[in-house]
Amino acid sequence: MPTEFSIGSLTLPRTAGLAPMAGVADRAYRILCKEHHASLLVSEMISAKGLCYGDPKTAQFCTITDAERPMGLQLFGSEPEFMAKAVQIVLPYQPDWIDINMGCPVHKVIATGAGSALMQKPDLAADIVRAAVSVSPVPITVKFRAGWDESNRNAVTFARKMEQAGAAAVAVHGRTKTQLYAGKADWDIIRQVKQTVSIPVIGNGDVTNAESCFQMYEQTGCDLVMVGRGSYGNPFVFSEIAAAMAGKPYQPPTLAEKMDTMLYHIRLILKLADGKPPELAIREARKHAAWYISGLHGAAAFRARCYQLQSYAEAEQLAADVKEANPS
């Protein structure tokens, strides 16, 4: 199995990358996953129109730190002219590539004609990619789903259109828009896309450990596996996959190491809070803390405490109580 793959002139390790996840994969999350050997990172979704209209909140998503590279910026929008202008706006932030989101199933994105709504308008989607490619010196990639619903699973023809429009790579989540995140991801459609196009194909959906990562590589032939929800409370998954791909032994984290990582993650969130007061920033940490606790003895009560966290000191006490309730 190859150990590297390329997007344009960018060569990356063929282990596993972190999927873009709005409201989850912020800078703290990305840095943590990179420290655990995620091969690439992608920003949260950035509105092309928001960029064009100068929304300061939108622009703050564009900054890329050295610790995060290689990293792409992900844009969403439904109008070619706005997408081209947005690409030009983000170029000074020096993204390693720019990804266009055509897979988000959330209603407020669909309602604007963006995200997976574009899978119903492949010609418009191709025009958006062409507009982005025409002004970008860095690769343009596209992330989309298996299709809109079970009756419209058009990922294969859609991928071909994206390639013809100039996309340097495509990422395919093996669920339809109507599935949202339920049910099982269809890896076979990722395989079909890989067999159809000549550009790199990134597979996404239901990879939670090294075993499932290897299975996706074997079953689909994809060039890279992308992990999303499988990394919730589990940045260690990237270390596990990197070790397995290198043929090295992997030692799963102890409970103490998990709790130490949870606290480190919370410290990162507080440190990178962009001026938010700690009492607000700690709210962003609550769901992450809860994910680290899943599956442990007393998890339900501990998760309830996670969602009430008011300070880092409370998080420290929570970690101590979790360890006490789950002796090794």
Positions annotated as catalytic residues are 104
Instruction: Calculate the dihedral angle through the C-alpha atoms of 82, 40, 10, 89, rounding to the nearest 10 degrees.
Output: 20
Strand order in the sheet with 224-227: 16-18, 224-227, 201-204, 169-176, 140-147, 97-102, 71-76, 41-47
Amino acid found at 314: E
Tokens 């995140």 sit on residue: 181
User: What distance in Å separates the CA atoms of residue 180 and residue 135, rounded to the nearest whole number?
Assistant: 32
Closest CA to 12 of 306, 223, 221, 269: 223
How buried is residue 328: exposed, middle or buried, by Cβ count under 10 Å (0-12/13-18/19+)?
Answer: exposed
- Range list of β-strands (E), the chain: 4-7, 10-13, 16-18, 41-47, 71-76, 97-102, 140-147, 169-176, 201-204, 224-227
Rama region for 22: left / alpha / beta (φ>0; ψ in -120 to 50; rest): beta
Estimate to the nearest angstrom the gap between the alpha carbon of 96 and the chain centroid: 15
DSSP secondary structure code for residue 175 in this structure: E
Distance set, CA 301 to CA 50, 290, 308 (Å):
40, 10, 11
Q: Which residues pair with 100 in a beta bridge?
A: 75, 142
Contact 84, 62 (CB under 8 A): no
